Amino acid sequence: MYPPKLGYVIAENLEEATDFLEKHEDAKALAGGHSLIPMLKLRIIRPSYLVDIRRISNLHFISPGSDEIRIGSLSTHYEISKANIPLLSETATKIADPQVRNMGTIGGVISQLDPSADYPASLIAMDAKVKVKGKTERTVSFKDFAKDMFTPDLNPGELVTEIIVPAFKDYKFSYQKLERKAGDYAIVGVAVLLKTDGESIKDVRIGLTAVNNTAVRATEAENMLKDTRISEEIIEKASAKVMDYANPVSDIRGSAEYKKKVTKVMAKRAILEALKR
Amino acid sequence: MKVIEPDQKTKIHLKINGKDYETEVEPRRLLVHVLRDLGFTGVHIGCDTSNCGACTIIMNGKSVKSCTVLGVEADGSEILTIEGLAKDGKLHPIQEAFWEKHALQCGYCTPGMIMESLWFLSQNPNPTEEEIREGISGNLCRCTGYQNIVEAIKEASTKMKANPK
Ligand SMILES: Cc1cc2nc3c(=O)[nH]c(=O)nc-3n(C[C@H](O)[C@H](O)[C@H](O)COP(=O)(O)OP(=O)(O)OC[C@H]3O[C@@H](n4cnc5c(N)ncnc54)[C@H](O)[C@@H]3O)c2cc1C
Ligand SMILES: Cc1cc2nc3c(=O)[nH]c(=O)nc-3n(C[C@H](O)[C@H](O)[C@H](O)COP(=O)(O)OP(=O)(O)OC[C@H]3O[C@@H](n4cnc5c(N)ncnc54)[C@H](O)[C@@H]3O)c2cc1C
Ligand code: FES
Ligand code: FES
């Protein structure tokens, strides 16, 4: 399989890349290439040019701060897995396989917005923000950025420059992914962040991926757990509530009915696993 | 900024197994084809869909699937393929371990499996069986059932610790 004929632009800095992309609406940015190149080989897309943004060094950083962590869009899944970011680093270890993690980038994942991608569950639970730059710069919540599946809030000539997540100190967390075979996209992925005080839960956030067009937060389930004493009963009830937020479709990864049921199972696992840490 | 038009070829420069190479490519040419055309036919194409890992090489120190990288994208990189592992007629410890533990049958997956093992062991020199299995989860083998591959990687880790370079 060969990609179709295309031009190639090597951008040395952000301005060159955004200018070229704005003037050529049918051009596409190339980050890790691990969504783009497979699609090119299958001839699903036929861009006029690829704009290689891989050499733009100010998109390639992870800077931890005391309140928030800034993650450059070119950070690879491997780099994020090693960065000790609550929840997000663990999520990165569950994406695909080692070779894909060495190439794929977080900016690529959220610009592609595959409904089954892993990061979105965690980014929605974390209230992540996305910094976007074209002619001007703006910052949007990840929730608003992810308009629909495969539909990021990006105008022609705009690139994701960084992702910003709160530091979540003193939070416990877990990302639980069910996959059909090693290295596959999720059947369902559940991200949980929680803060405890002795035997009670003070704060909790639950994000879901792969069971809706975009990632969602199970807010009613969160409310059931907040300010309660930890018990098997309340965890069981809250996990059942998480299931209400799953509206999956039947596909090769399972029937809608199956996916809905395993959402409850994975939610419970994620809550219990987070509590253990 | 460099612009290569769709019909244009461009020169790329690669350092492969320690030697410099220059070649002309169309932007759409995949790295796996560039390498095979330069004679590195140990880089196999199994699935061509980024799943099997037969095309795994080391690029700038990290394992990648060369069927999912463009030649132009790799311009300026340092690349290691299976052909670069044996030194002075002596096999690399991972190659020896694959031989001794009977970790291959048809051998199609082997170069990719060994290159991934090389990167994996550089990250985790003392792995458990479970870590090895996760480490090669991007490489498919249709013959062996993996058991002997896992044993070979374990054996290689012991060899490499006993004889570090
Ligand atoms: C075998 C395989 C298995 C996989 N399994 C999983 C999995 O289990 N879970 C998972 O989440 N993902 C999985 N993926 C996808 C992988 O994580 C990709 O790396 C990711 O979706 C895209 O990132 P990229 O850097 O490779 O982007 P690219 O392929 O380079 O780009 C993807 C899209 O985003 C655009 N883009 C890239 N960067 C930017 C930017 N900074 N600003 C604006 N637009 C941009 C591109 O123009 C393109 O449209 C898998 C991929 C493969 C090949
Ligand atoms: C993973 C694996 C495990 C195996 N395990 C076993 C096992 O446990 N036990 C076992 O017995 N075998 C085993 N085999 C071998 C298998 O049975 C082969 O199919 C068999 O050895 C060769 O038969 P073939 O028809 O595939 O021959 P081919 O591969 O087509 O040919 C083999 C050779 O014979 C020649 N040849 C073929 N047919 C003729 C003919 N009619 N006249 C003249 N020359 C001919 C060919 O030119 C060639 O040189 C295994 C093979 C594999 C890949
Ligand atoms: S040929 Fe590259 S992953 Fe299969
Ligand atoms: S030995 Fe045949 S595919 Fe692995």
* Residue B2 in domain: no
DSSP letter assigned to residue B90: B
CB within 8 Å of B162: residues ≥ 6 apart? none
Nearest to A16 among B1, B7, B119 (CB): B1
B119 touches chain A (CB under 8 A): yes
User: CB of B105 closer than 6 A to ligand 2?
Assistant: yes
Beta carbons of A1 and B48 less than 8 angstroms apart: yes
Distance of CA A17 from the midpoint of ligand 3 (Å):
30
Is domain A57-165 given the CATH code 3.30.465.10 in the classification?
yes
User: A8 and B72: CB-CB below 8 Å?
Assistant: yes
State the total domains in chain B.
2
- Domain range list for chain A: 7-52, 57-165, 172-276
Percent of chain A with pLDDT over 70: 100
Distance from CA of B28 to the nearest CA of A (A): 6
Which domain range does residue B144 map to? Answer: 93-162
**A81-91 average pLDDT score:** 98
* Residue B5 in domain: no
Beta carbons of A209 and A120 less than 8 angstroms apart: yes
Residues of chain B with pLDDT below 70 are 165
Other C-beta atoms closer than 10 Å to the C-beta of B42 total 18
3-state secondary structure at position A274? helix
Query: Is B60 in the same domain as B41?
Result: yes
Please report residues of B whose CB lies closer than 8 A to that of A49.
3, 6
A169 is written with which tokens? 């100190």
CATH code where residue B60 lies: 3.10.20.30
Strands A7-10 and A49-52: parallel
Beta carbons of B38 and B23 less than 8 angstroms apart: yes
* Residue B118 in domain: yes
Rounded-to-integer distance, Cα A155 and Cα A140, Å = 13
Query: Is B57 in the same domain as B107?
Result: no
pLDDT at A35: 98
Residue type at A130 in one-letter notation: V
User: B26 and A12: CB-CB below 8 Å?
Assistant: no
Beta carbons of B7 and A4 less than 8 angstroms apart: no
Query: Is B118 in the same domain as B71?
Result: no
3-state secondary structure at position B57? strand
Other C-beta atoms closer than 10 Å to the C-beta of A153 total 17
A244 is written with which tokens? 């209400």
The CATH label, of 2.30.29.30, 3.40.640.10, 2.60.40.10, 3.30.43.10, for the domain at A7-52 is: 3.30.43.10
CA B17 to chain centre: 11
Rounded-to-integer distance, Cα B19 and Cα B42, Å = 17
Helix H segments across A6-62? 14-23, 36-41
* Residues facing residue A174 across a β-bridge: A192
pLDDT at B162: 86
pLDDT at A166: 98
Among candidate residues B65, B84, B103, the one where a domain is terminated: B84
Superfamily of domain A172-276: CO dehydrogenase flavoprotein, C-terminal domain (3.30.390.50)
A185 touches chain B (CB under 8 A): no
Query: Is B158 in the same domain as B125?
Result: yes
pLDDT at A1: 86
Query: Is B102 in the same domain as B79?
Result: no
Nearest to A99 among B4, B8, B116 (CB): B116
Number of A to B CB contacts under 8 A, please give it. Answer: 100
Reported ipTM exceeds the 0.85 cut: yes
Nearest ligand for residue A253 CA: 1
Query: Is B14 in the same domain as B78?
Result: yes
Beta carbons of B70 and B64 less than 8 angstroms apart: no
| ∠ CA A89-A93-A94, rounded to 5° | 120
Rounded-to-integer distance, Cα A71 and Cα A119, Å = 13
Q: In this predicted model, what pLDDT tens digit does every residue of A124-143 receive, in sequence order?
A: 999 999 999 999 999 999 99
Q: In this predicted model, what pLDDT tens digit does every residue of A143-169 receive, in sequence order?
A: 999 999 999 999 999 999 999 999 999
Distance from CA of A12 to the nearest CA of B (A): 6
Sort B125 into a burial class: Cβ within 10 Å, 0-12 / 13-18 / 19+.
exposed
Query: Is B14 in the same domain as B80?
Result: yes
pLDDT at B165: 63
Angle, nearest 10°, between helix axes B147-162 and B93-100?
Answer: 140
A119 is written with which tokens? 């990061």
Among candidate residues B84, B113, B133, the one where a domain is terminated: B84
CATH code where residue B128 lies: 1.10.150.120
Among candidate residues B84, B111, B146, the one where a domain is terminated: B84
Beta carbons of A74 and A107 less than 8 angstroms apart: yes
